Chain A
């Protein structure tokens, strides 16, 4: 079972702000998902290959060829307050507090 503290911990890692009602809903839904996984665990799965992807493809690769990148002005067009050609982001130190 996923308890309230675990929901808040994961929410903090994901930078999600949840109100009390949402915390309760999430605790229930996440517990339901893990409960389902536990039911699968109860099955005899010897010889079943683990699935890491729903598409049965391998080695979808590209050649090592450089393309033309965006002009820097275009790359920065939607950035608030760029500074000397750089994106400006809030300081992670401030974020941690």
Chain B
């Protein structure tokens, strides 16, 4: 049988961090006592009228522009009708055929649309044998009801669970940098559902998809998709057919359980919301949203690769953390011609990160001192090992002077010019004639013993390459 390729699309709900709800002035909150942020509008009392929150519209425009979406010149709200305790109006105000943001793209993945809607209330189901005597019931807290959401839908462009998790991380970082949401998966301000199917590799047709819900971390998202891909491959491998259904992922057990069949509930009978008029973003609103966009991770990553010559992994790492990226760029500027940006990236993401992790009191040094250090190592005034010792002192004492540390600690690299290093090498060879003999007879690995002795003697101040060269030279090789 042909190999089955994964076809994955995502649906992401982003809770906007506005002060007030989408259609009323109740505060948007998380973690308060139940039902303290409600009013006749979000409780759906008769005769009330919703009025859209302008800030939510602006946030949706920012998200749309960041995802390169076509912004609809005029979009409308629809009623999505269903009965459920979390939905007091018996409809959710959402958008249907004319969403505010149309097709776009983030990285390798095409965006189908992004639209505005309101969140549902939070419900807790209590069984008949639970805290409440008698029949099973739903306890409903309307604090969340009416919180503005942007739902982002992708095309099925992802081909592995790991890619899906990586792309979801990129999306989260992008939205975070827009400052329009907390994007916290555990608290539910970012919710990712996955549409998963498989098909014979090379086929362009889509297989029957299932929808996975309840993956409240990127790790669970990846694990849930992997589990479902495995299940679908097994079903098809055994000659069966995948049924279209919605599955709930249990991260504890790794199980996927079908949610109660809602085939009827998908008949939402959308119709235009008569209580709301069209949204037509003005030129001023669009300009403001455009100007507020920071340089986003995907663009920053591309610039680091193209202009600064970083490899993809380094560029991704830095671009995903705007704070660290800003620091990196400051160090690159301070280093100037003294070292390549790639070398600076290695220091910032490697040695510096390790040094900061090594101690709780460690603080990141100013860009200037780190640039001085990188320059000193690049020009071989200090060895790399010596540089790490300087760095340990820098992170303990942020504004220290690199030249002074090198001087005080005696870390200046011992070069080959004045014969000092050659003398130490000669002594090390004399002290270990066995190793010397082995090197002469072709055992290249034996050189490590003598290099190690020289490094101990010089306390790491010698350049490893130079030491190797001197040993071979003195052994007449």
Interface residues of A (CB under 8 A from B): 9-10, 12-15, 52-53, 55, 57-67, 69-72, 75-76, 83-96
Closest to B27 in A: A66
Q: Of the candidates B40, B81, B137, which one forms a contact with A89 in the assembled complex, judged by CB atoms under 8 Å apart?
A: B137
Q: A87-B85, A92-B84 are in contact. List 10 more A-B contacts (CB 8 A).
A: A9-B267, A59-B280, A62-B51, A66-B26, A67-B24, A67-B26, A70-B38, A70-B43, A83-B137, A86-B34
Min C-beta distance of A80 to chain B, whole Å: 11
Q: Among residues 171 to 217 in chain B, which have CB atoms less than 8 Å away from a CB atom of chain A? A: none
Q: Are B54 and A90 in contact (CB under 8 A)?
A: no
Q: A52-B272, A61-B52, A85-B35 are in contact. Are A92 and B138 (CB under 8 A)?
A: yes
Q: How far is the CA of A64 from the CA of B40 in the complex (A)?
A: 18
Q: Are A91 and B142 in contact (CB under 8 A)?
A: no
Q: Are B280 and A69 in contact (CB under 8 A)?
A: no
Q: Are A84 and B36 in contact (CB under 8 A)?
A: no
Q: Are B20 and A65 in contact (CB under 8 A)?
A: yes
Q: Are B139 and A88 in contact (CB under 8 A)?
A: yes
Closest to B21 in A: A66
Q: Are B53 and A61 in contact (CB under 8 A)?
A: yes
Q: Are B19 and A64 in contact (CB under 8 A)?
A: yes
Min C-beta distance of A68 to chain B, whole Å: 8
For A89, the chain B residues whose CB sits under 8 A away are 85, 123, 137-140
Q: Are B43 and A75 in contact (CB under 8 A)?
A: yes
Q: Which of A70, A85, A86 has the most CB of B within 10 A?
A: A86
Q: Are A60 and B34 in contact (CB under 8 A)?
A: no
Judged by a CB distance under 8 angstroms, whether B468 is at the interface is no
Q: Number of contacts between A and B (CB, 8 Å)? A: 143
Min C-beta distance of B83 to chain A, whole Å: 6
Q: Are A62 and B52 in contact (CB under 8 A)?
A: yes
Closest to A12 in B: B264
Fill in one digit per residue for B272-291: 1 if any A CB lies within 8 Å of its CB, else 0.
10101111101000000000
Fill in one digit per residue for B11-23: 1 if any A CB lies within 8 Å of its CB, else 0.
0000000111000
Judged by a CB distance under 8 angstroms, whether B25 is at the interface is yes
For A72, the chain B residues whose CB sits under 8 A away are 33-36, 38
Q: Are A66 and B84 in contact (CB under 8 A)?
A: no
Q: How far is the CA of A23 from the CA of B250 in the complex (A)?
A: 44
Q: How far is the CA of A14 from the CA of B25 in the complex (A)?
A: 30
Q: Are A60 and B35 in contact (CB under 8 A)?
A: no
Min C-beta distance of B360 to chain A, whole Å: 39
Q: How far is the CA of A64 from the CA of B282 in the complex (A)?
A: 18
Q: Are B83 and A66 in contact (CB under 8 A)?
A: no
Judged by a CB distance under 8 angstroms, whether B445 is at the interface is no
| Range, interface on chain B | 35 or more
Q: Are B142 and A62 in contact (CB under 8 A)?
A: no
Q: How far is the CA of A62 from the CA of B54 in the complex (A)?
A: 6
Please name the 7 residue pairs, one residue from A and one from B, whose CB atoms are nearest each other, closest first: A67-B25, A64-B55, A89-B85, A86-B139, A91-B136, A61-B54, A66-B27
Q: How far is the CA of A9 from the CA of B85 in the complex (A)?
A: 21
Q: Among residues 249 to 270 in chain B, which have CB atoms less than 8 Å away from a CB atom of chain A? A: 260, 264, 267, 269
A-B contact pairs, 9 of them (CB 8 A): A9-B267, A53-B274, A62-B52, A66-B27, A67-B20, A87-B140, A91-B135, A92-B125, A93-B260
Closest to B24 in A: A67
For A58, the chain B residues whose CB sits under 8 A away are 74, 277-280
Closest to B264 in A: A13
Fill in one digit per residue for B457-471: 1 if any A CB lies within 8 Å of its CB, else 0.
000000000000000
Judged by a CB distance under 8 angstroms, whether B318 is at the interface is no
Min C-beta distance of B423 to chain A, whole Å: 74
For A61, the chain B residues whose CB sits under 8 A away are 51-54, 57
Closest to A55 in B: B277
Q: Are B19 and A65 in contact (CB under 8 A)?
A: yes
Judged by a CB distance under 8 angstroms, whether B141 is at the interface is yes
Q: A57-B277, A69-B39, A76-B35 are in contact. Are A64 and B136 (CB under 8 A)?
A: no
Q: A66-B27, A84-B139 are in contact. Are A53 and B37 (CB under 8 A)?
A: no
Q: Are A87 and B142 in contact (CB under 8 A)?
A: yes
Q: How far is the CA of A85 from the CA of B132 in the complex (A)?
A: 14
Q: Among residues 71 to 120 in chain B, which have CB atoms less than 8 Å away from a CB atom of chain A? A: 74, 76, 81, 83-85
Q: Among residues 128 to 156 in chain B, which have CB atoms less than 8 Å away from a CB atom of chain A? A: 132, 135-142
Q: How far is the CA of A91 from the CA of B140 in the complex (A)?
A: 11
Q: How far is the CA of A15 from the CA of B135 in the complex (A)?
A: 21
Q: Which of B25, B81, B84, B136 has the most CB of A within 10 A?
A: B25
Q: How far is the CA of A72 from the CA of B38 in the complex (A)?
A: 8
Q: How far is the CA of A55 from the CA of B141 in the complex (A)?
A: 35
Q: Of the candidates B136, B267, B280, which one forms a contact with A13 in the assembled complex, judged by CB atoms under 8 Å apart?
A: B267
Q: Are B139 and A69 in contact (CB under 8 A)?
A: no
Q: How far is the CA of A70 from the CA of B142 in the complex (A)?
A: 12
Judged by a CB distance under 8 angstroms, whether B124 is at the interface is yes
For A75, the chain B residues whose CB sits under 8 A away are 35, 38, 43, 142
